[in-house]
Amino acid sequence: MKLANQIVLGDAKEVIAALAANSISACITDPPYNYEFIGHKWNSDEIRRRVERVSAVANSTLVKNIPYGSHLAGGVRDTRWYKRVYDNITDYQEWCYEWAKPLFNACVPGAPVAVFNSTRTAAHVQVALERAGFYARDILVYRRHSGIPKGLNFSAKLRKKNNPDAERWVGWHSCFRNEWEAIVLVQKPLELNYETTISKFGVGLFNTKNSDGSFASNIIQDISNRKDKSLEGHVNEKPLALMSRLLDMLVPPGKENVVIDPFCGSGTTLVAAQKHGVSYLGIDIDENCVEQSRTRIEQASDLFSLEKEFALHGEK
């Protein structure tokens, strides 16, 4: 099966496995980070369930990044707790391998694969991708604004208990303020060398020229992470400008290049691909996400057509 410019409802592992070999030019995706979703169907009902389980004082962004029972603000961390966390991460790594293996077969030699993940689990994602056959190229940093640390303020906790040691522990927390997300960057092995790979498959190199002519860094910043409030059901959708930046860095324009997003969610990667001038294939297990993605693609297509029309009119 070879698909282009379509959004498919289904399990990513199954849909990718049905793709023709050497039919995908690149993968840019933002899968669930929360490794305790294994065994659950990751859809809008599951997201809603997780939102409801987050405490009233927590931010909904915790839902995707942090597992149940993580006890960031304290709690008992006995041997059983650590064992459960380890088992969950191991299951998550295996799940990543299960969709990465057919993805490897579907990708052309030299195809870049960029996978968003949390700073805690990016290493496990990289290992899974390498097990599937890809080789590691980099960890890109998406630097973004973040709020207050999601953890224990030890001094404040002691102060509530009128503990005289409270002032001694001012500034000591259970975690740092997180200002970045990891983007695991791997690549399918080249065919002989860059020249041969480029001539046969059209991908394999990175666009390192910034708009101001400077050499691009592996840190992506100065992109607003403000949410699109019209995208209901998504707690961590990525900015369109960010996905557009990644496409510009990793995939040369051209309809012959097909970019896949196996966890397309609200369709941001697909809209960016359409705007970038490449073909796309989106997959999602949630029917609501698929419908939302299709609607966004249609709206974006109309908008891009208007922009081209105005541009042509301006040239006359």
Helix axes 122-131, 79-106, angle to 10 degrees: 40
For the chain, the domains span 6-144+179-315
Instruction: Read off the pLDDT of residues 198-239 as tens digits, 9 standing for 90 and up.
Output: 999 999 999 999 989 999 999 999 997 665 555 554 556 899
Rounded to the nearest 10°, the torsion over CA 48, 50, 55, 60 is -70
**58: number of Cβ within 10 Å:** 15
The pLDDT of residue 245 is: 97
**pTM of the model as a whole:** 0.86
Give the H or E element holding residue 124: helix 122-131
Cβ atoms 183, 140 nearer than 8 A: yes
CA angle 171, 61, 113 (to 5 degrees): 110
Buried b (16+ CB within 10 A) or exposed e, 133-163: ebeeeebbbbebebeeebbbbbbeebeeeee
Residue 316 has pLDDT above 50, yes or no: no
Tokens (6 digits) for 172: 């000591």
Least confident of 22-26, 35-39, 110-114: 35-39
From 97, 105, 100, select the one nearest 20 (Cα to Cα): 105
What integer pLDDT is reported at residue 146 of this predicted model? 74
**pLDDT (tens digit per residue) in 155-172:** 999 999 999 999 999 999
Q: Domain 6-144+179-315 is in which class? A: alpha beta
> 281, 259 in Cβ contact below 8 A?
yes
Q: Enter the tokens of residue 49.
A: 């369930």
Average pLDDT, the chain: 85
3-state secondary structure of 27: strand
